[in-house]
Amino acid sequence: MRWREQRAAYRIQVPGPLYCDTSALLKLYVSEPGSDEFNRMVQGREDLFVSDLTVTEVACALARRLRQGAGTLETARLMQHAILERLDGGIYHRVELTRDVHRRAERFLLSLIETPLRAADALHLALATSAHAASLASFDARLGAAARAVGLVTYP
């Protein structure tokens, strides 16, 4: 099987629900390596989970891009508005950052010692597992490793 066929076969096998972290959600709105393939993979899916933590981190990433001279404030605000519209409109399923999610994140931080997680990464992992997601989309290798360690399928 050729490489492209293998990637296509893998793409089909990403089970849902699918939790999107910041690196994944950003690829749906900003053209960067992996954006086109990820957009194709999620197109038409109705099982995407997103948290408000992700939305805030996307705003942070967009602000960083603005400071670096990439894009305009108007475009960044339009992207944030589009994300919030999809989240508030139910296109993305919202996962709430609750006290229980924080406790779960803390357990991950203390139990996944071999995978050094940042607090926000542990929160994303806790959000995904609390939503009973089957998969986690993240372009962060460390978070992907932690997700696999707790039994989630990862993309890419």
pLDDT, tens digit (0-9, with 9 covering 90-100), for 107-125? 999 999 999 899 999 999 9
Domain range for 108 is: 97-156
Determine, yes or no, domain membership for 6. Answer: no
pTM, full prediction: 0.89
Determine, yes or no, domain membership for 154. Answer: yes
User: Can you tell me the mean pLDDT for 67-89?
Assistant: 96
Last residue of a domain, one of 44, 69, 95: 95
Side chain identity at residue 58, one-letter code: V
How far is it, in rounded angstroms, from Cα 53 to Cα 47?
A: 18
Determine, yes or no, domain membership for 15. Answer: no
> Do 117 and 80 share a structural domain?
no
Q: How many domains does the chain have?
A: 2
How far is it, in rounded angstroms, from Cα 139 to Cα 135?
A: 13
> Do 44 and 85 share a structural domain?
yes
> Confidence band (pLDDT; 50, 70, 90) for 12?
low
How far is it, in rounded angstroms, from Cα 67 to Cα 61?
A: 10
